Structure 1
């Protein structure tokens, strides 16, 4: 009986260890801001996550995003207006490509 309990506890510990260290691929969100110098950074907001990336030469990529729906906020510089894109879907291991995002004055 004692050996059975030890065996069950060992299996339970192994299972918890495997689940705890599950591989997380995450997803990404990328896009291009036009004009390239019109924005400085981009934020991705979900109900459980807030992520940020710098915009470099108009290009950005937010990495390690959990699967879910995000609101994207592009922080424009004067004289351009900020942009908000809602409903951006991220899948595990996938890339949500927003394409070209043209800033308005």
Structure 2
């Protein structure tokens, strides 16, 4: 009887953890850079963590992001200047569109 009780408790605890991780919601950040050949890459900074993506025909996308506030750093090719976009908010299960980002020379 004691083994059955331990088994049932373990089953309930594992079920709770499974359900908790099932409801983890993620979002994303997308944007377009003009001119299309001006950017070498885009980085996403959150605290001490950094993610990098390549730019394809001026477009970039970060996916599977947890809800929070991020900083987007665009590394530009010469003669364009780098760009920094701070306080980009990602809400649960939503994609934040930064729209068109024009890099200055």
**Deviation string for 1:86-105 (max 9, x for gaps)?**
00001121111111111111
Using the alignment, how far apart are the partners of 1:59 and 1:85 within structure 2?
16
1:56 matched to which residue of 2?
A: 56
1:89 matched to which residue of 2?
A: 89
| Unaligned 5+ runs, structure 1 | none
Computed over aligned residues only, the root mean square deviation of the Cα atoms, in angstroms, reads 1.9
**Greater mean alpha carbon deviation, residues 54-63 or residues 4-13:** 4-13
TM-score, normalization: structure 1? 0.85
Task: Quote how far apart the aligned CAs of 1:84 are.
Answer: 0.2
**Greater mean alpha carbon deviation, residues 52-61 or residues 42-51:** 42-51
**Deviation string for 1:63-95 (max 9, x for gaps)?**
111110000000100000000000000112111
| Unaligned 5+ runs, structure 2 | none
Using the alignment, how far apart are the partners of 1:69 and 1:79 within structure 2?
30
Q: Which runs of 4+ in 1 moved over 4 A?
A: none
TM-score, normalization: structure 2? 0.85
Using the alignment, how far apart are the partners of 1:64 and 1:7 within structure 2?
34
2:14 matched to which residue of 1?
A: 13
Contact 1:51 1:65 in 2 (8 A): no
Using the alignment, how far apart are the partners of 1:8 and 1:62 within structure 2?
40
2:36 matched to which residue of 1?
A: 36
